[in-house]
């Protein structure tokens, strides 16, 4: 387990990298920029220093990654890695608020970096203009404290789930379609008694059997709700605040205006964390 809130800053080699090292001194500009969250008893100066020291990988600079990146950047998460292999298209702008008309056809990760730097030049942003794969992802994940999964495909989701287990990283994951969405935090890499993403989705759905945003559409504000929740969960994980969604699944129904929090059990027969061989059960493609 990570240290409880505000108990481990500068304590040495215990905990994730964002909790190590000498305390940072906030300058006057940072004191002003982050003043509203410095007022929060749960964050304060020590929490802000942790955020500035933290490294987060956001996978996907789309509908979910956009609000997640913007709120993480605004909160002063000090090192943001943004991975996306696509380019900005006109049809993205209805929900992918990192991008604008002036950056159509640019790589999304680069466009995201432009928006993030404009919002908060106080932090470092590293654009990665490619889809993550088994060759490129491990070295990247080793450098971060936490992974946000805003991707839109099962191979990427399964890869991040497996690597977060191997590398002991928390994984904050979201999905949307239509007017509904879901959020979950997976800490199986830090606590093997907790479920992983494949406890929720053991196998990928048959092609065409599940609705997708491309097939049935999605409202931009719904991606805003879920993507913002990814940022909230990430800040809580980084600072050890409150009751996170680890071991739970949060369902959002935007049409009926409801949230529902369910307990997510660990599956004994999970292909990733249940003891079954993973290599034989990973999907291809
Ligand atoms: Zn599992």
Query: What's the average model confidence in pLDDT over 16-39?
Result: 79
Token pair belonging to 201? 């989705």
- Say how many Å lie between the CA of residue 65 and the centre of ligand 1: 24
- Say how many Å lie between the CA of residue 38 and the centre of ligand 1: 37
- Say how many Å lie between the CA of residue 168 and the centre of ligand 1: 14
Specify the pTM: 0.88
Q: How confident is the model at residue 21 (pLDDT cuts 50, 70, 90)?
A: low
Domains of the chain and CATH, by start: 27-263 (3.40.50.720)
Active site residues: 213
pLDDT higher than 90, residue 125: yes
* Strands, sheet with 55-59, edge to edge from the N-terminal-most edge strand: 124-128, 79-83, 55-59, 146-149, 171-177, 180-186, 248-253, 258-263
Closest CA to 253 of 181, 190, 192: 181
- Say how many Å lie between the CA of residue 195 and the centre of ligand 1: 5
Token pair belonging to 260? 């529902």
pLDDT higher than 50, residue 180: yes
pLDDT for the residue numbered 1 = 31
CA-CA distance, 163 to 165, in Å (whole number)? Answer: 5
pLDDT, tens only, 194-207? 999 999 999 988 77
- Say how many Å lie between the CA of residue 202 and the centre of ligand 1: 7
């Amino acid at each position: 387990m990570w240290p409880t809130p505000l108990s481990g800053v500068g304590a040495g080699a215990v905990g994730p990298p964002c909790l190590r090292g000498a305390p940072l001194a906030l300058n006057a500009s940072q004191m002003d920029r982050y003043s509203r969250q410095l007022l929060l008893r749960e964050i304060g100066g020590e929490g802000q220093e942790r955020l500035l020291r933290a490294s987060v990988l956001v996978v996907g600079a789309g509908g979910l990654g956009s609000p997640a990146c913007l709120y993480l950047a605004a909160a002063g998460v000090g090192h943001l890695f943004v991975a996306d292999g696509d380019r900005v298209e006109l049809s993205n702008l209805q929900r992918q608020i990192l991008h604008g008309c002036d950056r159509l056809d640019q790589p999304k990760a680069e466009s995201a970096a432009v928006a993030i730097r404009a919002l908060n030049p106080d932090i470092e942003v590293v654009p990665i203009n490619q889809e993550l794969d088994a060759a490129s992802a491990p070295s990247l994940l080793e450098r971060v404290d936490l992974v946000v999964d805003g991707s839109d495909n099962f191979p990427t989701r399964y890869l991040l789930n497996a690597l977060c287990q191997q590398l002991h990283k928390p994984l904050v994951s979201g999905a949307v379609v239509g007017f509904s969405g879901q959020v979950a935090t997976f800490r199986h890499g830090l606590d093997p008694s907790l479920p992983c993403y494949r406890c929720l989705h053991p196998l990928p759905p048959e092609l065409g059997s599940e609705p997708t945003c491309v097939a049935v559409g999605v409202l931009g504000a719904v991606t805003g709700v879920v993507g913002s929740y990814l940022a909230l969960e990430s800040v809580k994980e980084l600072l050890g605040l409150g009751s996170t969604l680890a071991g739970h699944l949060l369902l959002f129904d935007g049409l009926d205006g409801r949230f529902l929090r369910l307990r997510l059990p660990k599956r004994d027969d999970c292909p990733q964390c249940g003891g079954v061989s993973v290599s034989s059960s990973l999907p291809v493609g």
